[in-house]
Structure 1
Amino acid sequence: SPNKDAIEMATRVEQSYQKVMALWHQLHVNTKSLISWNYLRKDLDLVKTWNLEKLRSSAPGECHQVMKTLQAHYEDFLQDSRDSLVFSVSDRLRLEEEVEACEACKTHFQHLMKSIENEDKEETVAKMYISELKNIRLRLEECEQRLVKRIQSPASSRTDKDARQDNALRIAEQERTQEDLQQLRSEFDVVSTKCNSFLHQSPSGSSVPSLRSELNLLVEKIDHVYGLSTVYLNKLKTIDVIVRSIQDAELLVKGYEIKLSQEEAVPADLSALES
Structure 2
Amino acid sequence: VNYDWSDRNTNMTVKKENYSGLMRELEQREKKVNDIQAMGDKLVRDGHPGKKTVEAFTAALQTQWSWILQLCCCVEAHLKENMAYYQFFADVKEAQDKMKKMQESMKKKYSCDRSTTATRLEDLLQDAVEEKEQLNEFKTLLNGLNKRSRSVIQLKPRNPTTPIKGKTPIQAVCDFKQQEITVHKGEECALLNNSQPFKWKVLNRSGNEAVVPSVCFLVPPVNKEAVDSVSSLDSNLQQMTSMWQMLHINLKSLLSWQYLTRDFTQIRSWNIAMLKTMKPEEYRLVMRNLEAHYQDFMRDSQDSQLFRPDDRMQVEDDYNKVSQHFDNLLRSMEKGQQDETLCKNYISEIKDLRLRIENCESQTVSRIRKPLDKEPLKECSQKWGEQQKVQGELEGLKKDLDKVSVKTQQVLASPQQPASAPVLRSELDVTVQKMDHVYMLSSVYLEKLKTVDMVIRNTQGAEGVLKQYEDCLREVQAVPSDVKEVEAQRSKLKVNK
With a CA cutoff of 8 Å and minimum separation of 6, indicate the structure with the bigger relative contact order: 1
Encode CA deviations 1:209-265: one digit per residue, 9 max, x unaligned: 7477766666655444322221111111221222233345556666777x5798583
Q: For 1:209 and 1:105, how far apart are their aligned partners in 2?
A: 35
| Preserved contact between residue 260 and residue 293 of structure 2 (Cα < 8 Å) | yes
Match of 1:70 among 281, 286, 293: 293
Q: What's the CA shift string for 1:19-52, capped at 9, x where partnerless?
A: 26479x96x9799867887566444423322235
Contact 1:52 1:112 in 2 (8 A): no
Partner of residue 342 from structure 2, selected from 111, 128, 134:
128
For the 8 Å contact 1:143–1:181, the answer to whether it is kept is: yes
2:353 is matched with 139
Structure 2 counterpart of 1:132, one-letter code: Y
From 368, 371, 386, the equivalent of 1:156 is 371
1:149-197 alpha-carbon deviations (Å, 9 max, x no partner):
6346533254x32x3343333223311221112112222344455566x
Aligned match of 2:265: 48
- Cα distance 1:115–1:93, how it changes in 2: closer, same or farther (>3 A)? closer
Q: How many residues align?
A: 254
State the partner residue of 1:246.
Answer: 459
The letter of the residue matching 1:19 is F
Task: Report whether the alignment pairs 1:178 with 2:178.
Answer: no
Q: Structure 1's 199 and 147: CA in aligned 2 closer, same or farther, altered over 3 A? A: closer
Whether 1:234 aligns to 2:457 is no
- Structure 1 residue 114, shift from structure 2 partner: 5.3
CA RMSD in angstroms comes to 5.4
Q: State the percentage of identical aligned residues.
A: 19
Aligned in 2, Cα 1:38/1:199: closer, same or farther, shift over 3 Å? closer
Letter in 2 for 1:166: E
SS for the counterpart of 1:49 is helix
- Distance across 2 between alignment mates of 1:7 and 1:246: 148
Higher helix share: 1
Instruction: Check whether the contact 2:391–2:439 (CA below 8 A) recurs between aligned residues.
Output: yes
Given that 1:36 and 1:77 are in contact with CA atoms closer than 8 Å, whether structure 2 keeps it comes out as yes
| Cα pair 2:391 2:443 within 8 Å, conserved | yes
Mind listing any 5+ residue stretches in structure 2 that lack a counterpart?
1-76, 96-135, 142-236, 480-485
Larger Rg: 2
How has the CA–CA distance of structure 1 residues 63 and 256 changed in structure 2, closer, same or farther, with 3 Å as cutoff? farther
Pick closer, same or farther for the CA change 1:126–1:166 going to 2, 3 Å: farther
CA distance in structure 2 between the partners assigned to 1:156 and 1:256 by the alignment: 32
Contact map agreement 1:122 1:204 (CA 8 A) in 2 = no
The residue type equivalent to 1:154 in the other structure is R
| C-alpha contact 1:123 1:206 (8 A) present in aligned 2 | no
Q: Does structure 2 retain, via aligned residues, the 8 Å contact 1:132–1:191? A: yes
Indicate conservation of the 8 Å contact 1:168/1:240, yes or no.
yes
Amino acid at match of 1:265: Q
Q: Secondary structure at the match of 1:265?
A: coil
**Cα distance in 2 for residues equivalent to 1:195 and 1:154:** 36
Unmatched 5+ residue regions in structure 1?
Answer: 83-88
2:416 matched residue in structure 1: 205
Q: Superposed, which structure 2 residues align to 1:3-42 within 5 Å?
A: 19=138, 21=140, 41-42=258-259
